[in-house]
Structure 1
């Protein structure tokens, strides 16, 4: 799994218990998956279609640094299926896993748009062509 993004847990990210608010973490995951999928599918009109059950393993506290990892599971006709793991960089504990996140590229009318992709492309490979 590649860990693409790090986030610093700040006071505004905490719940009343003083730990990372789960909703904030899900927002970060959704944003990271969207950005990753937009780049992979080369379609800025890419949206979250589905997110499977989430499993919180531990938490994070103010000042901790977390890392968000994403892995491509499958390329569909108009979609990209990912899984995600978030870990605490400071404690090395796994915070959450999401087994299945489906992102879909849309056309101008908001309908699924076939992308023709079958494998991960890295920016360095696109630039060398």
Structure 2
């Protein structure tokens, strides 16, 4: 799993117990899944269809640095299924896991559109390929 994003837990991210609010971390997970999918599918029109059970394993506190990792579970015809882990950057203790997040690729009409992708692609490899073909 690759961890792309780091967040600082700030006072506005806390719940009444003084720990990281679940809604805040879920918003961060959804954003990370969307960004990852947009890059993989090369389409800005991607939406979240499904998020499986969310397993809160530990808490985070004000001042903690967390990191969000995503990995591809599988490529569908118009979808991309991801898994996610949120962990404390300093201790590497897992805070949250989500086993399945299904992101759907959309066409201009707002309906699911085949993306034609079958494997993970890295931007650096796409750039190298384009330069080679130029």
Match of 1:113 in 2: 113
User: For residues 98 and 7 of structure 1, what CA distance do their matches in structure 2 show?
Assistant: 18
TM-score (norm 2): 0.94
Aligned-pair CA distance for 1:115 = 0.4
Q: 5+ unaligned residues in a row in structure 1: which ranges?
A: none
Render the CA deviation track for 1:78-103: whole Å, top value 9, x for unaligned.
Answer: 00000001101123210011000000
Quote the Cα distance in structure 2 between the aligned partners of 1:44 and 1:111. Answer: 13
Runs of 5+ consecutive residues of structure 2 not aligned to the other structure: 130-134
In structure 2, how many angstroms separate the alpha carbons of the residues matched to 1:26 and 1:77?
A: 26
Give the Å deviation of 1:66: 0.3
Give the distance between the partners of 2:91 and 2:20, measured in 1 at CA: 14
Q: How many residues are matched? A: 129
How is 1:1-129 mapped onto 2 (pairs within 5 angstroms)? Answer: 1-129=1-129
